[in-house]
Amino acid sequence: MSRMTPKEMASRIGDGLLSFPVTPFRPDNAFNETRYRSNLDWLCGYEVAGLFAAGGTGEFFSLSPAEVAKVVATAVDETKGRVPVLAGIGHGTAMAAQLAVAVEATGADGVLLLPPYLVFSEQEGLAAHIEAVCNATKLGVIVYNRDNAILNEDTLEKLCQRCPNLVGYKDGIGDIELMTRIHLRMGDRLTYIGGLPTAETFALPYLEMGVTTYSSAVFNFVPEFSTKFYAAVRCRDRETVQAGLRDFILPLIAIRNRKRGYAVSIIKAGMKVIGRDSGHVRSPLTDLTSAETEELAVLVARLDTSEFAKRELAAA
């Protein structure tokens, strides 16, 4: 049974920072439940409005359906209602619907529907895919608008009319015009989430459009920075936001952009840097080199003496 209604879940996550915990693996690539529980317990000690288990940063794409259910069930059990737990689901329509049923049984509070596997399709086909998933579960559904699953405002409006449990829209493409059209059309019918890679770079302009929350991957290993950065965004403290971008986010992006797949790999490297080693990424992803990991370690170490930290200290 869900701990909250779809509308309650959407309202709750729209009022704070969101994150996607990494899925730890052992050297043999098996799920490391002990490390996962430890990471979740630690993250719950910070102000976070929702954790997305087995999401993109959690390497959903490399997990088997059974592993997805196991990871989500572990997250639900470990968090014990301290924070909403949403589950990543996806692949083709049949598998996505089956996963929705499976994670609902674990006690998850909602689902994030990732783009369907591989194929590009017309709006009618995307709508049928999303509606089938919504019909398979009573949980609140957030649709992830990116890659091969880009909805327009007409399709989204019709889906909202037919699917009362479609309660969230996560943007992963950065099309400002489309985002404006959708927000003006749907208003407060949906909760809007910033979901671009390293969403901190877009957080302030998106807030002006009504996007009150975003998913922070770096929250995994620098939660104190992430929560303070989010607070600065919500206060529209542009100087502090810009300091955080200069001191940490943009240098991190420079490392991330060196190779494909590093958006996930750099977060796993960050966990290693702070002493919460959560193993390697699964193939087809590749890990950061030792030199790149050291660059990241230097960035993390410098946070305490950065301009961002000084501004936060002065504000306190």
User: In this structure, which long-range contacts are made by residues 307-314, counting pairs with CB atoms below 8 Å and at least 24 apart in sequence?
Assistant: 307/243, 307/246, 307/247, 308/225, 308/228, 308/229, 308/240, 308/243, 308/244, 308/246, 308/247, 308/248, 311/239, 311/240, 311/243, 312/228, 312/240
pLDDT of residue 241: 97
Q: What is the spatial distance between Cα 136 and Cα 92, in angstroms, rounded to a whole number?
A: 14
Residue 316 — pLDDT band, cuts 50, 70, 90? low
Choosing from 36, 70, 144, 268, the catalytic residue is 144
Mean pLDDT, range 111-139, rounded to an integer: 96
Q: Is 170 a catalytic residue?
A: yes
pLDDT tens per residue, range 120-130: 999 999 999 99
3-class secondary structure, 250:
helix
Beta pairing partners, 50: 18
3-class secondary structure, 195:
coil
Q: What is the spatial distance between Cα 220 and Cα 40, in angstroms, rounded to a whole number?
A: 9
Q: Is 192 a catalytic residue?
A: no
pLDDT of residue 2: 45
Q: What is the spatial distance between Cα 217 and Cα 198, in angstroms, rounded to a whole number?
A: 7
| pLDDT, mean over the chain | 96
Mean pLDDT, range 217-242, rounded to an integer: 97
The values of phi and psi at residue 151, to 5°, are -95, 145
Amino acid letter, 65: P
Asked if 125 and 93 count as a contact pair (C-beta separation under 8 A), the reply is: no
206-233 burial, b at 16+ Cβ within 10 Å, e below that, comes to bbebbbbbbbbbbbbbbbebbbbbbbbb
pLDDT tens per residue, range 55-113: 999 999 999 999 999 999 999 999 999 999 999 999 999 999 999 999 999 999 999 99
pLDDT tens per residue, range 207-226: 999 999 999 999 999 999 99
| Residue scoring higher pLDDT (288 or 315) | 288
**Domains, in order of start, for the chain:** 6-235 (3.20.20.70)
Choosing from 36, 70, 169, 170, the catalytic residue is 170
Q: Is 57 annotated as a binding residue?
A: yes
Residue 118 — pLDDT band, cuts 50, 70, 90? confident
pLDDT tens per residue, range 258-302: 999 999 999 999 999 999 999 999 999 999 999 999 999 999 999
How many CB atoms are located within 10 Å of the residue 164 CB?
11
- CB-based burial label for 264 (10 Å; 0-12, 13-18, 19+): buried
Residue located via tokens 């993390």: 300
- Helix (H) or strand (E) run with residue 166 in it: strand 166-171
Amino acid letter, 294: E
Mean pLDDT, range 6-22, rounded to an integer: 97
